[in-house]
A and B are shown apart, each in its own frame.
Chain A
Amino acid sequence: MGPLAVNDIISPNTNFFLAFVIGIGFGFVLEQSGFSSSRKLAGLFYGYDMVVLKVFFTGGVTAMLGLLFFSLFGWVDLNLVYVNPTFLTSAIVGGLIMGAGFIMGGFCPGTSFCGAAIGKLDAMIFILGLFIGVYFFAFGYPMFETLYKSAPMSSPKISTMLNLSDGVFAFILVVVALGMFYLAEWVEKKFPREEY
């Protein structure tokens, strides 16, 4: 049955409309969880507010379990769900640069749009920076291309690489995530600070 758009159950235009609706849900949840505040987001790195970790991993794990159950019931064909291709070096270097951007700017792209939507000027400036960064990458692409395309690995799943079934890996990830949540609660008690 699913994914609906890939199996032509809904038309491309409906798909775009639903993208908009999904976006509304995404933006609403992010803002309600406090992701529009850069100081709240940055709290993750100083231990005073672990909301990013909690929301992020609860979201990831929920969607992962949901997809596995959908696949089990035959509602969605996981082979047709897009998996980002892996280019190992590029993924690590890009991730580290994003980490630097995160700690300096206090946002990530998704949350900056949320912040900008409720009038945070720093979020708007961050978005401006994002555009400059992407333009820079586009115009300087020859400089980045070797790195960008090094160590291609197609689109592997971690479970396949570890020789585990998706379900067993999901279980391990859930245990790890829950462990982090309890740790996060403990850390927040240790570094108490008024909510921003």
Chain B
Amino acid sequence: MNQPKKSRYLNPYIGGVLLGLVLLAANFISGRGLGASGAIKSVVVATTQTVAPKYAARTKYFQEYHEEHSGPPLKNWLVFQMLGVIVGGFASGAFAGRLKFKVEHSPEITSRRRLVFALLGGIFFGVGSQLGRGCTSGSALSGIAVISFGGIITMMAIFGGAYALAWFFRKNWI
């Protein structure tokens, strides 16, 4: 890999500046940062309330959700934003010719192993994002933009945690 190979992707610094402008627009227009896990939370609340309304009404987690948010859970800023993310991601993939069903993994491991770890990783991230009050986008990225103490602490914990465990999972990736 000595000769510089042209990347299929946008230059990361240009991508970063564009990402920053999107985040700036979110802050300027709506007074808030970007996010992802909050949309999942909204869907979780909405489905639980539909499937088991009585359970939701007497369970603290759902009560507290309604103290913090007004209106129906799906009529939420982040839900609309995440729908946009899916559309935007799809459009970008279509432009670049990257639309393809596949499981991406290191040649050293099987697809099955990759999927098991993806599921595990998702579960961990789901729990962690609730404790951290936001994920990489909602807490860390948006936190940097507004110089939030909590956001930057969460960011350091995410990357610190991942680096600390990287050695144990190297076979999955390298």
Contacts and interface: CB of A to CB of B under 8 A. Distances in A.
Interface in B23-41: 23-37, 40-41
Given A51-B9, A86-B153, A113-B85, A157 B148 contact: yes
Interface residues of A, number: 137
Interface string A48-63: 1011001111111111
B126 A32 contact: no
Interface residues of B, number: 126
B50 to A, nearest CB: 14
A151 B98 CA distance: 45
Interface string B143-161: 1111111111111111111
B53 interface: no
Interface string A124-155: 01111111111111110110110110000101
Q: Mostly helix, strand, loop or mixed at chain A's interface?
A: helix
A37 B77 CA distance: 26
A89 to B, nearest CB: 9
Contacts of B170: 46
A49 to B, nearest CB: 10
A6 interface: yes
Nearest to B8: A195
B161 A97 contact: yes
A141 B130 CA distance: 10
B88 A54 contact: no
Contacts of B148: 83-84, 86, 155-158
Contacts of A66: 20-21, 24
Nearest to B22: A25
Nearest to B146: A83
20 contacts: A2-B29, A46-B173, A55-B16, A60-B141, A85-B150, A91-B153, A94-B128, A94-B129, A98-B128, A99-B159, A101-B123, A104-B121, A108-B136, A109-B37, A118-B99, A125-B122, A128-B122, A133-B129, A157-B146, A159-B147
Nearest 10 A/B pairs, CB to CB: A105-B121, A133-B126, A129-B122, A23-B84, A99-B161, A95-B157, A58-B16, A62-B20, A27-B88, A94-B132
